[in-house]
Amino acid sequence: MTDDQNMKSTPYVKLDDLSVGYGGKAIIRDICIDIKKGEIVTLIGPNGAGKSTILKTITKQLSIIKGSVGFEGRNMHKIPNKELSQKMAVVLTERLKTDLLTCYDVVASGRYPYTGKLGILTPEDEKKVDEAIAAVNATELGAHDFNAISDGQRQRILLARAICQDPELIILDEPTSFLDIKYKLELLSILRNMAKMKGITVITSLHEIDLAMKIADKVVCVKGDHIYKYGAPDVIFDENMIRELYDIDNGFFDPLYGSIELPAPTGQGWQRHMYEESLGRKHRGKDSRPKGAPYAFVISSGGGGIPVYRKLQRKNLTFAAGILYENDMDYRLARLLAQEVVSEKPFADISDKAYSRAEELIKECGKVIYVPFETGACNGRIKDLLKLAESEGKLETI
């Protein structure tokens, strides 16, 4: 094998039988992970699981309890700090202690591994500082006192410092904390470009699993005293996997859309007086509908029902939905939030069984909410359901 082939087969960063922890006591054991050059690897998992401990061990801030961290085929913990600082940049969650330093000064400190003992910047260094500040859209912050800016602004300045360092490896601990959505997206776009255009390897922890699944090449799930799972996003971001990783029992994660969903409504179902009052009439007669009947039956398709589902969920009103094809956008959310979904196989004609159940629900519920959509040969019986809802005096078209 040639030297070039050997370099390609050797992991760029290798965690080999690594145990990490504090005071000589391991909290996570037997970590074995290979990371290629230019990959983005994201650590996810519950708070306190040990994600930061792993990152601090990789960056030499904590001693290794067992095993090793390899970097370019060498033991990272034996690489001199000055040499390592020219190859690796670190952005951790600890507050940076600065006195009377401007944001420009903080970013400029990223060039110190390349300067002499006096830390004097060359014109080329100054250019890199300016470019790094501009890359995170923080040019207006340059002259500000670093201690006088917001947490989100500090995060952007610290990222600029890391960029300014010209690293081959960048390690970040919860870099999106304190950032609003605009700067979260901007930061992750910067990291993606660094990895894919410059071949910089990125190892980061993230709380936002919806963002992690969109940016990561590999995902490390941290839970318990071992790595819970390691693999590609399409393997990790499975509904059951995420539920087990975070012990979710009060909501859902939808891997198709990368969305976190609150639990289905459990409160107000059908109550006759609410329906009568909504029509401006007083309660009349005894309600013969089943006690557990949903407040509404939603007829929709192609994403049109999603805002209706969410509105009912916010009001904690139970609802049923149908007749939905199982490849419909509305079905993805309805299966999580609806009390019941009447469904049909994709591209099939609506069956008698599905139609009969939809009829029953229309008769049982308090109202039928219809979000107009086009019907065809397969789902033409929807029109008959709408006629039934209208004859029952329940149809509400939005």
CB 342 within 8 A of CB 354: yes
Helix (H) or strand (E) segment spanning residue 395: strand 395-397
Residue 210, CA distances (Å) to 215, 220, 238, 259 in order: 9, 14, 12, 6
CB 22 within 8 A of CB 62: yes
What does the buried/exposed string (b/e) look like for 18-27 if buried means 16 or more CB atoms within 10 Å of the residue's CB? bbbbeeeebb
Max Cα distance, the chain (Å): 90
Helix (H, G, I), strand (E, B) or coil at 308: helix
| DSSP per-residue string spanning 197-239 | HH--EEEEE-S-HHHHHHH-SEEEEEETTEEEEEE-HHHH--H
Residue 59, CA distances (Å) to 52, 243, 320 in order: 10, 30, 52
Angle (CA) 246-175-126 rounded to 5° is 170
Fold of 3-260: Rossmann fold (3.40.50)
Please give the chain's pLDDT, 398 residues, in tens.
Answer: 444 444 455 789 999 999 999 998 999 999 999 999 999 999 999 998 999 999 999 999 999 999 999 999 999 988 998 889 889 999 986 666 667 789 999 999 989 888 877 678 889 999 999 999 998 889 999 999 998 888 888 888 999 999 999 899 999 999 888 888 888 888 888 899 889 998 999 999 998 888 898 899 999 999 999 999 999 998 899 888 998 999 887 788 887 777 777 888 876 545 544 544 454 544 444 455 556 789 999 999 999 999 999 999 888 899 999 999 999 999 989 998 999 999 999 999 999 999 999 999 999 998 999 999 998 889 999 999 999 999 999 999 99
| Euclidean distance between CA atoms 246 and 244, whole angstroms | 6
| Euclidean distance between CA atoms 67 and 81, whole angstroms | 20
Q: Where in the chain is the domain with CATH 3.40.50.20?
A: 272-397
Q: Which of 259, 246, 232 is nearest to 332 (CA)?
A: 259
| Tokens found for residue 138 | 């923080």
In DSSP terms, 35 is beta-bridged to 13
Q: What is the pLDDT of residue 3?
A: 45
Look up residue 113 and give its DSSP letter: G
| DSSP per-residue string spanning 79-101 | S-HHHHHTTEEEE-SSPP--SS-
The angle, 0 to 180 degrees and rounded to 10, between the axes of the packed helices 123-135 and 151-164 is 140
CB 265 within 8 A of CB 337: yes
| Tokens found for residue 117 | 């003992």
Q: Which of 241, 260, 236 is nearest to 250 (CA)?
A: 260
Domain 272-397, second-level architecture:
3-Layer(aba) Sandwich (3.40)
| DSSP per-residue string spanning 312-346 | HHHTTB-EEEEEEETTSHHHHHHHHH-SEEEEE-T
Helix (H, G, I), strand (E, B) or coil at 151: helix
| Tokens found for residue 127 | 């250019």
Helix (H, G, I), strand (E, B) or coil at 67: strand
What does the buried/exposed string (b/e) look like for 127-160 if buried means 16 or more CB atoms within 10 Å of the residue's CB? ebbbebbebbebeebbeeebeebeebbbbbbbbb
Residue 188's CB is within 10 A of a number of other CB atoms, namely: 23
Look up residue 78 and give its DSSP letter: G
Residue 384, CA distances (Å) to 28, 323, 357, 378 in order: 60, 12, 13, 13
CB 265 within 8 A of CB 316: yes
Q: Where in the chain is the domain with CATH 3.40.50.300?
A: 3-260
